[in-house]
Amino acid sequence: MARVELTGPSVSSSTISLNSTNKLEKMAFSFAA
């Protein structure tokens, strides 16, 4: 999951469609931390 979180922001920036996923990634990142 950590890898997905790190790549999440980059992919999100390129694809706004993943905006919803970005929120989940942020939550996952905070939870992982």
In three-state form (DSSP H/G/I as H, E/B as E, the rest C), the secondary structure along 1-33 is CHHHHHHHHHHHHHCHHHHHHHHHHHHHHHHHC
User: What pTM, to 2 d.p., does this model score?
Assistant: 0.27
> How high is the pLDDT of residue 1?
47
Residues 8-27: tens digit of each pLDDT: 565 555 555 556 677 777 77
Q: Which backbone phi and psi does 15 adopt, to 5 degrees?
A: -125, 105
Q: List the end-to-end C-alpha distance of the chain, in Å, as a whole number.
A: 12
CA distance 13 to 22: 9
